[in-house]
Amino acid sequence: MEERDKPVKVSVVGAGKMGEAIIAGLLSSGAYKPGDLKAYDISPLRRRYISETYGVECPETVDEALEDAEIVFVAVKPKDMASALSAISPHLRPETVVVSIAAGVPISYVEEHLPENTQVVRVMPNLACRVREGMLVYTPSTRVKSENLDKTVRVLGLLGRTVRLGEEYLNLATGLVGSGPAYIYLVIDALADAGVRMGLPKDLALTLAAQTTLGAAKMVLETGEHPAKLKDMVATPGGTTVEGLLELEERAVRAAFISAVSKAAEKAGRLKTR
């Protein structure tokens, strides 16, 4: 194995849903083994759960969790960022990259709570990182060295697709990337309920709905065709699909999705860090 391919030592501070998704995704990539990761959470129950479920070391103190860490994911809620940053600050090495995934928290806020010249990368991931199909948008601070950014992006890439954006777009992306899976789960659940209404067993209806959604998404990504063109390929003149599309338009489903993403993005800009 080349030096560049050796696993970067990663610590995850905050082992909630997203912290766990990052751990699970890195382990399922095959590039990481439990010994390459450490995790810390203020909850002893979460530490025990992560340790027993994934075999990852979860020390009782944050300084032990950060020992030898090259990348530290700070995966706590915005309101808990100040305390989390204060806790890790004394234990960061000069070359350690701090990856913040807190929605709405700017790089400047993170830097204010860490030692001078700390290298910070702000990331908005989503829950699909757990199955390595996440969408991760990121922006580095000006302090991040190019080699450390490359290293960080390689790790992020194990969790899904990565796109670099200016920080001014991160809150906007939160409404689409961070919250987006919840909207798609709602769609899948609704499609499955429709199947149940027509007489299908729920487990079968869920499989049909989820696979249909997955296939549609892959068509967009792999063909490069606009969704509107793909939609028209399905909706033949006078057919069944166009009747369903008309119902969706009459009920303003498209407008509802646009509004949902917009509202979530606006909320990201109002999240409190205290």
Q: What is the pLDDT of residues 130-144, one digit of tens each?
A: 999 999 999 999 999
Q: So what's the pLDDT on residue 268?
A: 86
State percent of the chain over pLDDT 70.
97
Residues in the chain: 274
Q: What is the pLDDT of residues 73-97, one digit of tens each?
A: 999 999 999 999 999 999 999 999 9
Residue entry with tokens 């409404």? 175
Structure confidence at residue 63 as a pLDDT band (50, 70, 90): very high
Q: Judge whether 165 and 125 are in contact, CB under 8 Å.
A: no
Q: Is 92 helix (H, G, I), strand (E, B) or coil?
A: coil
Structure confidence at residue 272 as a pLDDT band (50, 70, 90): low
Can you list the domains of the chain with their CATH numbers? 3-170 (3.40.50.720), 180-268 (1.10.3730.10)
Beta-strand relationship, 97-100 and 71-74: parallel
Q: So what's the pLDDT on residue 151?
A: 96
Q: What is the pLDDT of residues 194-246, one digit of tens each?
A: 999 999 999 999 999 999 999 999 999 999 999 999 999 999 999 999 999 99
Question: What spatial distance separates the first Cα and last Cα of the chain, rounded to whole Å?
Answer: 45
- From the number of C-beta atoms within 10 Å of its C-beta (0-12, 13-18, 19+), residue 180 rates as buried
Q: What is the pLDDT of residues 162-202, one digit of tens each?
A: 999 999 999 899 999 999 999 999 999 999 999 999 999 99
Instruction: Share the mean pLDDT of the chain.
Output: 95
219 or 274, which is more confident: 219
